[in-house]
Amino acid sequence: MKTPAKVLDRLRAGSSIAYRTRADAAAAWVARGRREDLDGWQAALGSAVRLALLLAAGYGAFRVCRAWPGLLWAVAGCWLLLAWRAGAPAAPEPADEEPLADDPADAIRALLWQLIGDAPGVHLRDVLAHLHEHGHHPSWTVADLRRHLERHGIPVDPKLKLSGTPTRGVRRDALGTPPPAVDRAPSPATSPAV
C-alpha cells in the first residue's frame, strides 16, 4: 500500500508534467500559425488568431464552470487521473544503456549526423522518435531531449523549417564539420544511445 506522501508526490510530479506538456503543445500550436512566406504583421496573423482561439476557449470554459460549478468536480477528477498517469515512475532503462550524464557528446553528434543525412537539419521530434523506436529513453519528451542536447553544447534552433513545418531542431551548420567516420558509421538502427 502506498503512503499518502508517495501518492501526493506522484500527483504533484504528474500534475507538473501534465501542465508542462499541455502548455508546450499549446505554445507549439500557436507558433505553427506563423507564416514563413509573409513578412511583418501578416506573418504573425495566424499565430494571433490561434492565440485568440485559445483565450476564447479558456474564457468559455470559465463561463461554463461559473454557470455549473458542479462541473469542477469532474474537471478535478479528470486532472487527478491525468496527473496520476503522468506521474507514473519511469520504466528502468535497459542495462546496456549508459546513464544520462555519461553519454559522450561525440556519440550524440554522430547520431545527429546520421539522422540529418543530406538535409539542412533534423527536427527533435524525429530524433526522439528514432530513439523511442530503438528502445532508448522511452520516457523522454522533446523538452528532455532539448535539455540533454544543450547540456552537451549542441545548439537547438527553436524554428528549424524542414518540409514546411518550423519546429525545434538541430541545424547541420550548428554541428560543425562532420566526423570523418560518418560515412563508415553504422546505420541509425544500430547507432549508439543518446
What SS3 class is residue 4? helix
pLDDT at 185 over 70: no
d(CA 155, CA 169): 9
Domain positions in the chain: 4-86, 100-190
Provide, rounded to the nearest whole percent, the portion of the chain with pLDDT above 90. 18
Q: Which pLDDT tens digit goes with each residue over 27-42?
A: 888 888 888 787 888 8
What Å distances lie between residue 61 and 2, 66, 71, 106, CA to CA? 34, 9, 10, 49
pLDDT at 184 over 90: no
Q: Which pLDDT tens digit goes with each residue over 115-158?
A: 888 888 888 888 888 888 888 888 888 888 888 888 888 888 88
47's grid cell: 499565430
| pLDDT value of residue 1 | 47
| pLDDT value of residue 189 | 46
Do 172 and 121 meet the contact criterion of CB atoms below 8 Å apart? yes
